[in-house]
């Protein structure tokens, strides 16, 4: 992917995104932003198998489970980790600027994510 973002989305203050809770962005396509144990990730929110919102699924470690057919996706890479999904979802880079979470749409995320400052 290009290193120039398609769009930069200022999401919310970093302290507003609680660990384990996703924030769904009503973009096209939808994007969900996650705080997993103090590390931020952003992925396309729609399951590549069943058109379900991944933000409605359960997260365990860095895996989010689709609420429809239980396919699991790695938040670090977007790769499906279990069937029935076989196609990855897109990841997006996340930055924290002046205390605000910013998603760089179209710039692939670093697998290590973005640590929450502080």
1 in a structural domain? no
Look at residue 2 and tell me if it is in a domain: no
Residue 58 forms part of a structural domain: yes
* Structural domain boundaries, residue 100: 7-115
Res 14: pLDDT: 97
- Mean pLDDT over residues 73-102, rounded? 96
| pLDDT 10s digits, 32-83 | 999 999 999 999 999 998 889 999 999 999 999 999 888 999 999 999 999 9
d(CA 118, CA 65): 29
Residue 104 domain flag: yes
**Residue 40 domain-assigned (yes or no):** yes
Q: How many domains does the chain have?
A: 1
What's 88's domain CATH number? 2.102.10.10
Average pLDDT along the chain: 93
Residue 73 in any domain: the answer is yes
pTM (global) more than 0.85: yes
Q: Which residue has the higher pLDDT, 93 or 51?
A: 93
């Amino acid at each position: 992917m290009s290193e120039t973002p398609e769009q930069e989305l200022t999401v919310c203050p970093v302290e507003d995104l609680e660990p384990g809770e996703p924030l769904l962005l009503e973009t096209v396509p939808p994007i969900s932003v996650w705080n997993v144990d103090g590390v931020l990730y952003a992925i396309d929110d729609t399951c590549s198998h069943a058109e379900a919102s991944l933000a409605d699924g359960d997260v365990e470690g860095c895996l989010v489970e689709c609420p429809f057919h239980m396919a699991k996706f790695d938040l670090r890479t977007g790769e499906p980790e279990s069937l029935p999904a076989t196609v990855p979802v897109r990841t997006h880079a996340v930055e924290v600027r002046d205390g605000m979470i910013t998603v760089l749409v179209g710039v692939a995320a670093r697998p290590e994510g973005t640590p929450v400052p502080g």
